[in-house]
Amino acid sequence: MEESEDVPKDFVKLKCEKLSVDEVSELVVSPYCGAVSLFIGTTRNNFEGKKVIHLEYEAYTSMAETEIKKICRNVRQKWPSVKHIAVHHRLGVVPITEASVIIAVSSPHRTESLEAVMYCINTLKASVPIWKKEIYEDEYSWKENKECFWANSEN
């Protein structure tokens, strides 16, 4: 395979079904890359001393997909050697220990893919319209990402 046949691709998906680490990582594998870096965000069973039963995610889907694609474009400007990027985010109910988000990035060397993955998750949390609701034993709470630019604005 010539490198021109392995053109850089972005894989963005929001879905209600269980996410697969294998599926997402396989999307970014390339014979021209020696690194595939992953971030997997999972549902934990506690928050500030409260027992978490599960999480629920909602999104403004079309805008979220547009914002994630913008993040991918920014990654390519900051790290031109990045080959493929995959960002899959689950919507709906996410049980304890299951993945809410999986991000995978391939590049010839590890530094670029590791930095790009960190940039992707931090920017996603700060700018993409996906909302998280934590369901506890006897109550629930919509969670605001501290990184969100709209969370810090004065009214």
- Reported in sequence order, the residue ranges of the chain that DSSP labels E, i.e. its strands, are 9-15, 35-42, 46-47, 50-59, 84-90, 92-95, 99-107, 130-136, 140-143
Query: Is 67 labeled as ligand-binding?
Result: no
Amino acid 149 reads F
Specify whether the CB–CB gap between 110 and 35 falls below 8 A. yes
Query: Is 134 labeled as ligand-binding?
Result: yes
Distances (CA, A) of 127 to 7, 45, 97, 133, 154: 27, 25, 25, 17, 17
Amino acid 139 reads E
Query: Is 18 labeled as ligand-binding?
Result: no
Query: Is 109 labeled as ligand-binding?
Result: yes
Query: Is 84 labeled as ligand-binding?
Result: no
Query: Is 50 labeled as ligand-binding?
Result: no
The binding site for substrate comprises 109-110, 125, 132-134
Binding residue positions:
109-110, 125, 132-134
